[in-house]
């Protein structure tokens, strides 16, 4: 294991947020809460909990958010999608989140109901897109509203310009922060950020960092999301198949290198896709000197 951390160079420690998803079984719930307790000492800026498109995880997301707010000191954001729901249905969900103490939403359109790659049809009585949802949320309360951003463009976008136009519409509707889809090439992110700023968008664009739990699964997922995975990763993970600890070590190196490089480019906030697992996130942050050195056993899927 290489503990030669690519140091964070800024004068201030970076701001970190963690993303979780609602558990689908008691075992997954145990894993989530172990992860939450392991990551809590890092004092994240906030944590967020995803929400299934079409409301498929309404109760589990609500339960997870409720418990995070009641049992931890961490500011907790609820993701919210508007696909397949009327405006009133979405507002009812917002009221439920509000009642458990949510003040920050990550507002998303959600994938088409027919699945990724099928045509998106707005619900006739619903918010037609993420920008309309942001406006609806702002009309309902003094919420902080984060949105998505796509450095390699969303697969449905005709081109990068259309993608940035949609981000602008979300910002004009009241979004205060964008969290990006994961990416691995920081040059792509930097060029994207330049285009976003040139479009007059000034909100923080927070890179989404995905520590690689499993390269094969990641490539499949990235293909659906329109995110590219550098070929060089094949070489880096080569001969780690039979050695989960070596695999986790490579994954933590890659994520730490990416954060350190972005930090050198002036980025101060990072959103980490934890996949409800703590070891790899902790190993990544320990390489950056942001947390005590960690044992990597059990970090790889």
Q: Is 19 marked active-site?
A: yes
Closer residue to ligand FAD in complex, CB, 45/245: 45
Question: Is 274 a residue that touches ligand FAD (CB under 6 A)?
Answer: no
Give the residue from 116, 106, 104, 108 showing the smallest Cα distance to 141.
Answer: 104
Question: Is 152 a residue that touches ligand FAD (CB under 6 A)?
Answer: no
**Residue 166 beta carbon to ligand FAD: minimum distance, rounded to whole angstroms:** 3
Closer residue to ligand FAD in complex, CB, 179/300: 179
Closer residue to ligand FAD in complex, CB, 69/147: 147
Q: Per the residue annotation, which of 3, 19, 190, 194 is the catalytic one?
A: 19
Question: Is 104 a residue that touches ligand FAD (CB under 6 A)?
Answer: no
E-assigned strands of the chain?
15-20, 46-49, 76-81, 104-108, 144-149, 177-182, 205-209, 269-273
DSSP bridge partners of 269: 15
Question: Is 63 a residue that touches ligand FAD (CB under 6 A)?
Answer: no
Question: Is 275 a residue that touches ligand FAD (CB under 6 A)?
Answer: no
Q: Considering all CA atoms of the chain, what is the largest pairwise distance in Å, rounded to the nearest integer?
A: 55
Site track for ligand FAD across 193-232, x = CB under 6 A? ---------------x------------------------
Q: Which one of residues 92, 99, 162, 293 is an interface residue with ligand FAD (CB under 6 A)?
A: 162
SS3 content of the chain, % helix, strand, coil (to 5): 45, 15, 40
Q: Do the beta carbons of residue 161 and residue 198 sit within 8 Å?
A: no
**Residue 48 beta carbon to ligand FAD: minimum distance, rounded to whole angstroms:** 8
Burial class (CB in 10 A: 0-12, 13-18, 19+), 225: middle
What is the SS3 assignment for 270?
strand
Closer residue to ligand FAD in complex, CB, 53/250: 53
Question: Is 76 a residue that touches ligand FAD (CB under 6 A)?
Answer: no
89-97 long-range Cβ contacts below 8 angstroms, 24+ apart: 89/55, 89/126, 90/126, 90/127, 90/133, 90/136, 91/136, 91/140, 93/55, 93/58, 94/137, 94/140, 94/141, 96/62, 97/62, 97/65
**Residue 90 beta carbon to ligand FAD: minimum distance, rounded to whole angstroms:** 13
Question: Is 253 a residue that touches ligand FAD (CB under 6 A)?
Answer: no
**Residue 149 beta carbon to ligand FAD: minimum distance, rounded to whole angstroms:** 7
Q: Which positions are catalytic?
A: 19
List of residues contacting ligand FAD (CB under 6 A): 50-53, 79, 81, 106, 108-111, 120, 129-130, 148, 154, 156-157, 162-163, 166, 179, 181, 208
């Amino acid at each position: 294991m290489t503990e030669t951390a690519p140091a964070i160079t800024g004068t201030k420690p970076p701001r970190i947020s963690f993303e979780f998803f609602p558990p689908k079984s008691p075992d997954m719930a145990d894993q989530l809460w172990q992860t939450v307790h392991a990551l809590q000492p890092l004092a994240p800026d906030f944590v967020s909990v995803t929400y299934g498109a079409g409301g498929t995880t309404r109760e589990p997301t609500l339960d997870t958010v409720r418990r995070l707010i009641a049992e931890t000191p961490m500011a907790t954001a609820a993701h919210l999608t508007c696909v397949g729901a009327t405006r009133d249905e979405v507002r009812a969900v917002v009221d439920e989140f509000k009642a458990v103490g949510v003040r920050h939403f990550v507002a998303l359109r959600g994938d088409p109901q027919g699945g990724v790659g099928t045509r998106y049809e707005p619900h006739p009585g619903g918010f037609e897109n993420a920008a309309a949802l942001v406006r609806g949320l702002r009309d309902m309360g003094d919420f902080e509203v984060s949105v998505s951003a796509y450095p390699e463009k969303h697969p449905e976008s005709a081109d990068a310009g259309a993608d940035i136009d949609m981000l602008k519409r979300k910002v004009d509707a009241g979004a205060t922060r964008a969290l990006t889809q994961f990416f691995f090439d920081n040059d792509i992110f930097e060029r994207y950020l330049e285009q976003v700023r040139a479009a007059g968008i000034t909100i923080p664009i927070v890179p989404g960092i995905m520590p690689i739990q499993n390269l094969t699964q990641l490539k499949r997922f990235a293909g659906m999301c329109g995110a590219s995975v550098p070929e060089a990763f094949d070489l880096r993970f080569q001969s780690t198949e039979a050695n989960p600890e070596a695999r986790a070590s490579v994954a933590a190196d890659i994520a730490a290198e990416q954060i350190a490089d972005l930090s050198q480019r002036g980025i101060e906030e990072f959103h980490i896709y934890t996949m409800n697992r703590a070891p790899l996130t902790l190993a990544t942050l320990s390489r950056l000197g942001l947390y005590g050195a960690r044992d990597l056993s059990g970090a790889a899927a």
